[in-house]
C-alpha cells in the first residue's frame, strides 16, 4: 500500500516537473521572438528600418510617420493682418480666418519650430498633412487679430520678431510675446536686431545681428531659439555659416517652394501668402508646389 502511494507521489512530481518546464518555455517564448525580430531587422541593409523596428517593438510611443522619400512641406509666410489697400504684405483678418479654417477642415497639422526641425532632420512627420505657419516682423495685429483665431482653431504659428521694434506702437511687446508663448500655440523666433540685409553686413555687424537677437529671445522667453528669418529674404553662404555659428538650427528665406532638408537647413523655402485668396484659393495655392 505504502509503495503504491510512493509511486503515485513520484509520478505526480514528474508530471508537475514536466508542466513547470513547459510553462517555463512559454514564458521564454516572447523574449526569444523579440530577439529574432531584432536580429533579422539589424541584418537588413537600411539602418533606419532597424531603428523603426526597435522603436515600435520596445516603446510604441512614437506615432511619427517615417517616409522613404524626402519629406517636403509648406512653410507659409504671412506679415501683417490688415486690410490690404494694395499692399501685398497685408492680409485681411477675415481672409486669414478662411485660410486657417481651410487648414483645419483639411486635417493639416500645424508644426512648432521644434517639430519642423525634427521633420527636417529625421525625415518623419507627426501627421500625413503638415504645415508651418510663420509671420514676419511681429506686427501688433498678429496678436490682436491673429492670436484669437489661432486659439479658437487650436493652431500653431511662429512669429519672427525684430528686436528693435519693441516699444513701437504697431508692433508686439514683450508681455504680449510671453502671453502668446504661454498659450503653447504661438512661438517667437528671430528676425534679427534691426532688420538689416545680412548679406551686406561686415563680419562683426553680422555676428551682432544674429547673436544678440538670439540671446534676447533665449533670455527673455527662456527658450532655445532655433530659427532665423533673413530680413528681406537676403542671404548668402556667409550668412548661412554665421547663423549656424550663432547657434540657430534653421533659417527661412523668401524663395518660393516647399521646405525640404536637401535645400539645406539654412536656406528653407516658403510659400508667400498674398491678399485676395478665400479658403479654396488658398488651398490651391499651398498645394500647387508639392
Residues interacting with Zn ion, by CB under 5 A?
Answer: 136-137
Closer residue to Zn ion in complex, CB, 119/229 = 229
Distance of closest approach, residue 63 Cβ to Zn ion, in angstroms? 35
Helix (H, G, I), strand (E, B) or coil at 152: helix
Distance of closest approach, residue 247 Cβ to Zn ion, in angstroms? 21
Closer residue to Zn ion in complex, CB, 89/207 = 89
Closer residue to Zn ion in complex, CB, 98/137 = 137
Distance of closest approach, residue 134 Cβ to Zn ion, in angstroms? 11
Cβ-closest position to Zn ion: 136
Distance of closest approach, residue 35 Cβ to Zn ion, in angstroms? 55
The 10 Å Cβ neighbour count of residue 114 is 14
Residue among 93, 168, 165, 172 nearest 140 (CA) = 172
CA–CA distance, 115 with 250 (Å, rounded to integer): 12
CA–CA distance, 127 with 63 (Å, rounded to integer): 9
DSSP string, 148-182: HHHHHHT--EEEEE-GGGTT-TTB--HHHHHHHHH
Eight-state DSSP code of residue 90 = B
Distance of closest approach, residue 137 Cβ to Zn ion, in angstroms? 5
Closer residue to Zn ion in complex, CB, 126/275 = 275
CA–CA distance, 161 with 141 (Å, rounded to integer): 13
CA–CA distance, 273 with 282 (Å, rounded to integer): 8
Distance of closest approach, residue 192 Cβ to Zn ion, in angstroms? 9
Closer residue to Zn ion in complex, CB, 66/197 = 197
CA–CA distance, 151 with 142 (Å, rounded to integer): 12
Q: Are 279 and 99 in contact (CB under 8 A)?
A: yes
Q: Are 124 and 176 in contact (CB under 8 A)?
A: no
Q: At which residue does the C-alpha cell 555659416 appear?
A: 241
Closer residue to Zn ion in complex, CB, 136/145 = 136
Amino acid at each position: 500500500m505504502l509503495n503504491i502511494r510512493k509511486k503515485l507521489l513520484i509520478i505526480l512530481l514528474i508530471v508537475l516537473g514536466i508542466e513547470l518546464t513547459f510553462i517555463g518555455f512559454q514564458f521564454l517564448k516572447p523574449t526569444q521572438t523579440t530577439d529574432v525580430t531584432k536580429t533579422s531587422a539589424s541584418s537588413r541593409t537600411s539602418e533606419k528600418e532597424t531603428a523603426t523596428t526597435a522603436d515600435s517593438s520596445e516603446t510604441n510611443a512614437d506615432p511619427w510617420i517615417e517616409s522613404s522619400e524626402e519629406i517636403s512641406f509648406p512653410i507659409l509666410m504671412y506679415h501683417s493682418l490688415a486690410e490690404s489697400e494694395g499692399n501685398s504684405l497685408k492680409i485681411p483678418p477675415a481672409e486669414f480666418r478662411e485660410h486657417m479654417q481651410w487648414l483645419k477642415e483639411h486635417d493639416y497639422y500645424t508644426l512648432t519650430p521644434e517639430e519642423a526641425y525634427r521633420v527636417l532632420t529625421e525625415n518623419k512627420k507627426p501627421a500625413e498633412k503638415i504645415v508651418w505657419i510663420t509671420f514676419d516682423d511681429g506686427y501688433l495685429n498678429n496678436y490682436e487679430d491673429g492670436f484669437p483665431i489661432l486659439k479658437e482653431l487650436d493652431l500653431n504659428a511662429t512669429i519672427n520678431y525684430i528686436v528693435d521694434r519693441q516699444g513701437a506702437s504697431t508692433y508686439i511687446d514683450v508681455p504680449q510675446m510671453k502671453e502668446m508663448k504661454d498659450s503653447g500655440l504661438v512661438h517667437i523666433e528671430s528676425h534679427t536686431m534691426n532688420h538689416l540685409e545680412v548679406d551686406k553686413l561686415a563680419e562683426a555687424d553680422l555676428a551682432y545681428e544674429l547673436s544678440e537677437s538670439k540671446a534676447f529671445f533665449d533670455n527673455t522667453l527662456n527658450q532655445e531659439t532655433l530659427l532665423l528669418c533673413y530680413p528681406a529674404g537676403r542671404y548668402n553662404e556667409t550668412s548661412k555659416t554665421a547663423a549656424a555659428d550663432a547657434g540657430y538650427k534653421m533659417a527661412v528665406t523668401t524663395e518660393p517652394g516647399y521646405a525640404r532638408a536637401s535645400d539645406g537647413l539654412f536656406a528653407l523655402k516658403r510659400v508667400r501668402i498674398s491678399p485676395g485668396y478665400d479658403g479654396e484659393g488658398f488651398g490651391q495655392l499651398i498645394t500647387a508646389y508639392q
